[in-house]
Structure 1
Amino acid sequence: MRIIAGDWRGRKLVAPKGDATRPTADRTRETLFNMLASRLGTFEGLSVADLFAGSGALGLEALSRGAGHCLFVEQEKPALDAIRSNIDTFEARPRTTVSGASVMSLGPAKVPHDLLLLDPPYGTGAANVALDRMIRLGWVGAATLVAVETGATEDVEVRLLETVKERKVGKAKLTLLQLS
């Protein structure tokens, strides 16, 4: 796994040990960030939350492209170790916060994030449940773009969110959503 573009382009990422985490493939991540770039234009200064963060590849990709800050939320210890190692390798600590908790235990947001990146375990419906909660707790605002990776046959259906773009990439489906 490598960073696709930006300041850290080509630099390797550490993946969590064990099989509890499924890192997003480079090709899938590249497709996702092309979809995001066409909607956002630039990542400069964005506030990003990488939920179900795994290795932190999605949030680190956003930081590499200019995001101002990224919150990484992950509950598995091997994944947290990988995230912290990657953050240290890229000397990104000042622009990051790491939460070793379940996405479902997060409290209310002080302000909505500009971009939410979710890569929950496939086949669990966790994205729908988490997004419903994130909306109620103020994590999603009028200008927030939400990107979700699910299995290719899964749908993301959350009250108040509308799908703005969807694309299948191998065994994955990428869905971009915004408040309706």
Structure 2
Amino acid sequence: MPRILSSASPNRNSSQVNRAKANQLRIIGGQWRSRRLPIADVAGLRPTPDRVRETLFNWLQSVIGGARCLDLFAGSGALGFEALSREAAKVVFVEKDTRAFKQLQANVVTLEASGAQLIHADAFSYLEREMASFDVVFLDPPFRLALPEKALDKLLERQLIAQESLIYLEHELEYQLEFARWGLAVHRQTKAGQVMSFLLKKV
């Protein structure tokens, strides 16, 4: 007689799968397409969703190859790893949380990502000592701390943005910025739920 599984079993299995996926990020395109990487269990860590990353890298497809990139509030590293997968020459990952940083280190080893440079530091202390400009800067900071404004101030003050550089910025829907203050204009933008995403360039 065939064994009849309880109705709870599929739900438990489904729940386990969903929890596992929630603790992973998936690389969308490039050499590591469909690779899944673990994410550190850190409060507030929220990788840029797959759909938004796909849109972003469609915007960047003509410039990302060979680019020098900065993933300033790296977190899961989703944006930086996606850039390296699509043949960015170098990505500097800056992350101050120790658990998130250790997971970034492990994922760099897993991918054998030779173009990755990992910096365990506060974003602003790092910017104070950086000297070279970047082709693409990814800004996905923790929400509700006014960090985008502070980051843009420091990037411009330190002259880390060249005339042709692009800045990708995510912030909460209710947060408002006048990009003209920094001599920046919106090149592309999109909205996903309560998050706004912008691709910015110098006027």
TM over 0.5: yes
Query: Which residue of the partner structure matches residue 103 of structure 1?
Result: 123
Give 1:161 shift: 1.8
Aligned equivalents of 2:158 and 2:63: distance in 1? 26
Query: Which residue of the partner structure matches residue 140 of structure 2?
Result: 119
In the TM superposition, what are the counterparts of 1:46-57 in structure 2 within 5 Å? Answer: 46-57=67-78
Query: Which residue of the partner structure matches residue 33 of structure 2?
Result: 9
* 1:165 matched to 2:165: no
Aligned equivalents of 1:88 and 1:18: distance in 2? 20
Q: Secondary structure at the match of 1:150?
A: strand
Give 1:108 shift: 4.4
* 1:27 matched to 2:74: no
- Tell whether the 8 Å contact from 1:108 to 1:138 is kept in structure 2 after alignment: no
User: Could you say which structure has the higher helix fraction?
Assistant: 2
- Tell whether the 8 Å contact from 2:136 to 2:166 is kept in structure 1 after alignment: yes
Provide the TM-score with structure 1 as the length reference. 0.91
Q: Secondary structure at the match of 1:66?
A: coil
Give 1:2 shift: 0.4
* 1:43 matched to 2:61: no
Bigger-Rg structure (1/2): 2
Give 1:30 shift: 1.6
After superposition, the C-alpha distances for 1:90-122 in whole angstroms (9 at most, x for unaligned) are 001x31111111111122433210000010012
Q: Secondary structure at the match of 1:89?
A: helix
- Tell whether the 8 Å contact from 1:134 to 1:140 is kept in structure 2 after alignment: yes
What is the number of equivalent residue pairs in this alignment? 176
Greater relative CO (CA pairs within 8 A, separation 6+): 1
Identity %, equivalent residues:
36
For structure 2, the 5+ residue unaligned runs are 1-24
The more displaced of 94-103 and 19-28 is: 19-28
Aligned equivalents of 2:57 and 2:97: distance in 1? 25
Give 1:68 shift: 0.3
> What residue identity is the alignment partner of 1:155?
Q
Aligned equivalents of 1:23 and 1:63: distance in 2? 16
For structure 1, the 5+ residue unaligned runs are none
The more displaced of 141-150 and 169-178 is: 169-178
Q: CA RMSD in A?
A: 1.5
